[in-house]
Amino acid sequence: MSYPLFVKRDIDGFFGLAIDNLIQLILIVSFCKILCGMPDVLIFRIILPGAAISILLGNLFYSWQARRLAIKERRDDITALPYGINTVSLFAFIFFIMLPVYQDTKDPYLVWKVGMVACFLSGVIEMLGALIGEKLRRITPRAALLSTLAGIAITFISMDFAFKIFEKPVVALFPLAIILVQYFSKVRFPLGLPGGLIAICAGTGLAWILGYMDGENIIIADGIFQFSPPRFKGGDMIGLIHSKYILQYISIIIPMGVFNVIGSLQNIESAEAAGDKYRTFPSLLANGIGSVIASLFGSCFPTTIYIGHPGWKAIGAKGGYSILNGIFITFLCLTGLITITLKVIPIEAGLGILLWIGIVIVAQAFQETPKKHAMAVAVGLFPAIAAWGLLMVESALRSAGTTLYILGREAFVNNLAIHGMISLERGFIFTSMILASISVFLIERQFLRACFWSLVAAFFSYTGIIHAYELTPNGVMSKFGLGVAVDFSIGYCSFAILFAAMAFYLRGKSS
């Protein structure tokens, strides 16, 4: 059996995954410099090279894992799990940990060290999650795992990229058409050229011909864009483990670590639904090790198994796209050529590939679950939609020079159920799984299992893992403690009581 190192379709997969990774790197550069006051030398010579070593090793591991699975199952259609920097953790760490520390101390190097410790602890949590990941997958219905991903795909991936495409239609729509022809119609282009490559070239050509790109901006700054190898920085974290800032923000670090574990489980389940059954333990363990390595070499941002495996598989990518992505992103991080790349290739040229990935994931949630569970999948979409809606509200308010904290919840009472939106958004990945699981077991008339998941929701609400929040100058933050969302806890307990009563009622009726 032959499993080639690279195939032509790996090029399409590479372009899509590399653009996704590139977006995260641009966010890191922008947020660290603008919000946290970090100098270029810290960003380009320490943080990015630290992220690079994790991204490279992770991509190589998941490519090797795909090859091992292909040999074991004697198949040549195995696709590697995508891997990169965790977007959700990136935003959470910047806005709820690093930015507040910078506002308090004005010390960018302390901010960096706190971020490294947060990344390290997140990786440790992910490694511990590998011990229980398979058990959690077994007790959670597939509809619950896939519907959460579908919610994220339809909002934070598909909608976001769709907006960017229609913002610059002259540049972005023609590359999108190429992607749709390639993957919807399954048309083979001349010379067997990959659709992603053609789309990128076409979009780039249009952008330069029509004047959307400016050649004068392609300037390499002295002292920034040069080779910077990763350097071990684990010693800089010593003494900060018991820092007041780590203790102060541990309530964010732990939930985000658990969040990453659940998200990775969902992506592994999504890959299995697409036909590639990867073992949970090594996949999650490598995930956590990647975050730990990133932190030890200076990065503040955890890495994770990415959403999108079914889309890359539908494209025809195998293991080579992961290797190409790891090499390319590492090159950009070690040389500092990230911003230069975007000044040459417009990001709109490749957004069609990412939009396609989101479409495939949403479709998979309905196609790869029993037909009668479709309603459960639909229920699981609502928390992610609430999360995306809140992001839109907050972004609009910040653009207008205000925030929810300044306006207060009362400003929306008559027009928008903002309290309900925020409550549904807090811990939405857990809420989505729980509501979809309850729905599946109600459809199957397994009332005691629905009761169990209701009690889980009650406990999570009581401790603040879901639904509890507080408005702060930096945004909406989760509120942890006992009884912080007791009203939701009572509501879920009423679920449990009703479901338990129905179970005993039907048992007595059948006897």
Q: Give the DSSP letter string of 226-275.
A: S-------GGGGTTTTT-HHHHHHHHHHHHHHHHHHHHHHHHHHHHHHTT
Domain membership flag for residue 226: no
Residue ranges in the chain whose pLDDT is less than 50: 222-223
Query: Half-sphere exposure of 166 toward its Cβ, with a 13 Å CA cutoff?
Result: 6
* Run of H or E residues at 476: strand 475-478
**Rounded CA gap, 90 and 429, in Å?**
16
Query: In this structure, are residues 325 and 14 in contact, taking their beta carbons and an 8 Å threshold?
Result: yes
403: tokens are 């925030």
Domain membership flag for residue 170: no
Residues 398, 310 share a domain: no
Residue in the structure block whose two tokens are 């806890």 = 489
Looking at residue 64, its pLDDT comes to 95
Whole-angstrom CA distances from 108 to 228, 238, 476 are: 20, 17, 23
List all residues 6 or more positions away from 160 whose beta carbon is below 8 Å from its beta carbon. none
Looking at residue 472, its pLDDT comes to 81
* C-alpha 310 chain-centroid distance: 15
- Which of 347, 362, 389 terminates a domain? The answer is 347
263: tokens are 């998200």
Neighbour tally for 367: CB within 10 Å: 14
Residues 157, 54 share a domain: yes
Residues 401, 280 share a domain: no
Residues 286, 140 share a domain: yes
What is the identity of the amino acid at 501?
Answer: A
Quick check: helix, strand or coil at residue 304?
strand
Residues 135, 268 share a domain: yes
Residues 323, 406 share a domain: no
Residues 135, 263 share a domain: yes
- Which of 295, 314, 347 terminates a domain? The answer is 347
Looking at residue 223, its pLDDT comes to 42
Domain membership flag for residue 203: no
Query: How high does pLDDT run on average in the chain?
Result: 86
Residues 129, 46 share a domain: yes
Domain membership flag for residue 399: yes
Domain membership flag for residue 364: no
Beta bridge pairs of residue 166: none
Residues 382, 306 share a domain: no
At residue 471, φ and ψ (nearest 5 deg) are -85, 130
**Rounded CA gap, 231 and 323, in Å?**
22
Look at strands 83-85 and 475-478 and give their pairing: unpaired
19: tokens are 């653009």
Domain membership flag for residue 468: yes
List all residues 6 or more positions away from 351 whose beta carbon is below 8 Å from its beta carbon. 19, 161, 164, 165, 172, 175, 176
Domain membership flag for residue 185: no
Looking at residue 468, its pLDDT comes to 92
Residues 156, 120 share a domain: yes
Domain membership flag for residue 301: yes
Query: Total domain count for the chain?
Result: 2
Task: Supply the range of the domain harboring residue 258.
Answer: 1-164+247-347
Residues 441, 342 share a domain: no
* C-alpha 422 chain-centroid distance: 19
Residues 378, 500 share a domain: yes
